[in-house]
Structure 1
Amino acid sequence: MRPAISLLPFEITTGAAPKETLLNRSQKGSFSMFPPNHHHRLLALAGCVLSLALAACSKSPEGAQKGGGGRGGGAVPVTAADVVKKDMPVILPGIGNVRAFSTVSVKPRVSGQIAELHYKEGQFVKQGDLLVTIDPKPFQVALAQAKAKQNQVGTQLNLAQKQADRYVALQKSGAVAKEQVDQVQSDLKVAQANAEAEEAAVEAAELQLSYCTIYSPMAGRVGRRVMDAGNVVKADETELVVINQLQPIEVVFSVPEQYLGVISKEMAKGPLKAGIALNENAAAQTSGELTFVDNAVKPATGTIELKAMFPNKDLTLWPGQFGEVMLTLSTQKDATVAPAVAVQIGQKGPYVFVVKADKTVEVREVVVERTVADESVIQKGLNPGESVVIDGHLRLFPGAKVELKPPVGSEAPPAEAAGKQVANTVP
């Protein structure tokens, strides 16, 4: 019998006396791999290894399955939802930037010192509300001077008119020469021109005085206070306050140029509806309407700029915000629709777990035409009335037994995975 090869420093034999090993030789005083005081430890270690190996081999398959889970466990608890047939919008998505419908930078039309501010930062104002008062005293003085000059010129005009009338009467009786009459009539015309000039000067002074009170040119929300009372401002240069019109408000976004044709076609049928979601947790506003399509495509990006108008009655939209815009192009009738969270992605593409009548699941590949909010339009692979798993996918395999449980806390499918995505919405 050939000797066994052992990785241990001794051999395990049965029957005959043990053969000489490194350990035997160490006891005879020859070469030893381990110190003598380790012999008992090695024997104990070898015994433990053998015991563990025998115990592992002695376990039955039934014992391994008693732990539950996996393919040998009970029914897998899942949540399912029905595939339905319904009308679905055809949506073109884009990233939009919220902008004020109108923005006015209020500047003084006269130079002077600010006497009083009549608004508070962030206040909503109506058209015609008083905003700023500039010290009116210098302009009141200028108006008084203009009126005094007007009175002086008016007196001169009256005198010139009387003198002209007198000379005309004398000319009829031959008392004065015609040249004298021409002179006084010329003086009358000069006096009339001076009177008109002074009248215009008075109107100009009144206008300058009126510019000392600055009113809101439109309804909107005022921004931060730029100037305080006491500061001297310069006409048409110093910015006093910025007003943004927030109701309505517009959203600017761009779409690829290849959709320009379908947008123009659908706009010819009527106004196109638009919605916007500021983030994945916010409810989308769907009351918008497409109001503008630019007249040229941007060559650098191959996109065209669009604008949508929103009433913004609840003031949830604010200038400067970004959001996901959803432009509704048309409506697809009787589409096959499944919850978006039911669609999983595998090596071969999208698939779903279909719950069969015997409470087992079938893995079925599907073709997703597009996803709108938390619903997917299925082009191929599912039929209305079938039931698909929307929660509990991780423990499933083809043919697995399932136990249906109701959705937690909501009748709608959970929107934890693809529920808020609006990608690939245009076929």
Structure 2
Amino acid sequence: MNRFLALALAALLPLSAPALDLGKGWQIAVTDFEGEALLDTDRVTVPKPASPRVPDSHVAARRGSDGALTLQFSNSWIAQLRWQGGKPLDLRPYLANGTVEFDLRVIDLAHGGMKFKLGCGTDCERKIPFLFAGRELIGKGPQHISFALKCFWREGDDFSAVPLPFTLEGTGSGEIAVNHLRLNRQGKATTACPDYRSQSVTPERLQESWAMDWWLPRHEAKLAEVRAHREAGRRVDLVFLGDSITQGWENEGKQVWAEHFAKYNAVALGFGGDRTENLLWRLQHGELDGMAPKAVIMLIGTNNTGDRLEDPALTIAGIKRNLDEVRRRQPQAKVLLLALFPRGEKPDDVTRRHNDKVNALLPALADGRQVVFLDIGRALMNPDGTLSKDILPDWLHLSPQGYDIWARSLDATLTPWL
């Protein structure tokens, strides 16, 4: 080959670079929901505030003689080992073929969950859930984990100055150790990760530690509820599909439900924490079977926002996939497709603005006949767009008064259908 051509080609190829060892030059912060400590000794426990919101939680970490970092947590909403305090990294050269690799030892995770996070710039982070896979590794000793850096990338992310190159996050109770953490510019990924482009349309059980004890049993209980109606000769005319806001009909909305919907033998298929892919799993596993409702009300997607600030177009794809599933399984039913409810106290809240973007795309999924779109958001807000704690006490979930507003907002559409 011509020497000058060889030099020109070499200039176009990626330069080789040593792996970035994240064991050097970085602080290790140990955090829980309410506190933080630096692991600058062999062992540290996160201190509790004077009036803790989670008084029985405990988060600690230790550094082993081999350099392994162990995170211990119990009854914790969020426990983290977070790499911070170093010079922000330019990871753009790593995105094409790079990997993040480490040795993972899952000591205990029977009542906990775990995720891996990587910063994607200022006020930006991406995560990979690892609850199901992590529980399979309990007691199996150190396992080498290698994720493609692209697992943590979304179109539009800026990886030019990443201040938080890695976080190990636990929830619930567990004990996890990591060692030999590094970023490779040229690596081989050996561990699968969700494809963010199809995550919202890929059926999956809810992968959260706080849901593991009740999510599948609730699914089975809902199948039994529908079966009991059928065996008693009661026709189910109305079905609600959704997440915790729909599940709330059984709690804060119980009295309103009895007044407005019990006469239709209505069924509330709402599961706290569900995103579009989790509702899709439930529909594909029988929750709409064995009945022939006249109307189905669907409200899903706000957790796609709250959990991962998902591109609105991807959330819409997940909602459409569920809508298609409903239409296929219950072709006789009219579907009332609801806009996502407002969340966040003020109109400029980032999750509120994200939901607004989803809502702007939702009407295109309705034909006005078999599928009707309805936005009741204004009825849940103050005139200036702020939210009231009387209606949405935590700026997301409804109070009894909120459920009454919801029910009355449905009357004009539902009454002719039912």
Higher relative contact order (CA 8 A, sep 6+): 1
Q: Which protein shows a greater Rg? A: 1
TM-score (norm 2): 0.17
Structure with greater strand share of residues? 1
